[in-house]
Amino acid sequence: VVGQTLDTSIASLIGQAIGSLMAERNLRNIVVGRDGRLSSPDMAAALIEGLRKSGRDVIDIGLAPTPVVYFGTFHLRTGCCVSVTGSHNPPDYNGFKIVVDGETLSGEAIQNLYARIAENRLTRAEVPGQSSPRDIKADYIARIAGDVQIERKLRVVVDCGSGVAGDYAQELLEAIGAEVEPLFCEVDGTFPHHHPDPSDPANLQDLINVVQRVDADIGLAFDGDGDRLGVVTKSGEMIYPDRLLMLFAADVLERNPGACI
C-alpha cells in the first residue's frame, strides 16, 4: 500500500537490489514500464534511480501494459525488465513485476532481493547508469498485426476499466481488423467506473450491457495492467479463464502437435 508499506525510498532500494543481481550476472540493460496509477510515475522514477545507482542502463518505455514491458525485454534484447504496477489491486496499491535474465522473479528470488537490501549487499557503481526514453508501442502493434489478422470483420467491445491497456487496446484490435467500441479506455489511476479486475463478474456488467446494446460479436475486458483477460459472448455470457485456456491450448496443439500444456 503506497504511503504505508511502499514509498519512493523503498522503490529505489528495490531498483538497486535488482541492479546488483544483474551486475553479478554481467547484465547491463533493463526495460522499465509503468501502469496508469497515480503513484506509478514516482515509483518508476525512484526504481530507475536505484537501477542507475547500481550502474545499470535503463530503457524507460513509460506508460505501458505489463505484456508490452515483457515484449520490450525480448524486442530490445535486454532479458531484464520491471513493470511498475499494482495489477488488479485497489488504486492505493502498487508493486513491481520483475524479470532478470529471462526469468520472472517470484517466491524465494523475491525474498533474496529483500535479504540483499536488509544485509546491505548492494552494488554502487562509480559512474551511474544511463536512462533513455523509448516508445515501442508501434513496434508492439506491428509485431502482432503482422502475425494475426482476423478472418471476418468482428465487432468488439473492449472495457479497459480505466487501466493502462486503454492506451493500446483499440489501436491494436483495429490493426488486426476488428471494429472497436471502446469502454472506459481513458487511463485514470482512480478507476472511477469500476474496479479493473475482470475475474469478478460484477466488474463485467457494464461490458455485457454494451455488447448487447450495440449487438457486438464479443466483449473483452482487461485488468489494471492489461495482463488479465475477461471475455463475454454475444449473448452476455462470461467465458471463465479455464475454458479460455482450453481454446488457447487447442490452438497451440494444432500448430505444435504433442506440445506440453
pLDDT digits (tens, 9 = 90+) for 120-154: 999 999 999 999 999 999 999 999 999 999 999 99
Average pLDDT over residues 76-81: 98
Which whole-number Å values give the CA distances from 167 to 36, 103, 159, 200, 220, in the listed order? 10, 27, 12, 22, 15
Predicted pLDDT of residue 116: 97
| Segment holding 207, helix H or strand E | helix 205-213
Supply 111's cell numbers: 525474498
Predicted pLDDT of residue 260: 92
Q: Which pLDDT band, with edges at 50, 70 and 90, does 1 fall under? A: very high
- 106 classed as catalytic: no
- Determine which one of 87, 131, 132, 162 is catalytic: 87
Locus of grid cell 535488482: 18
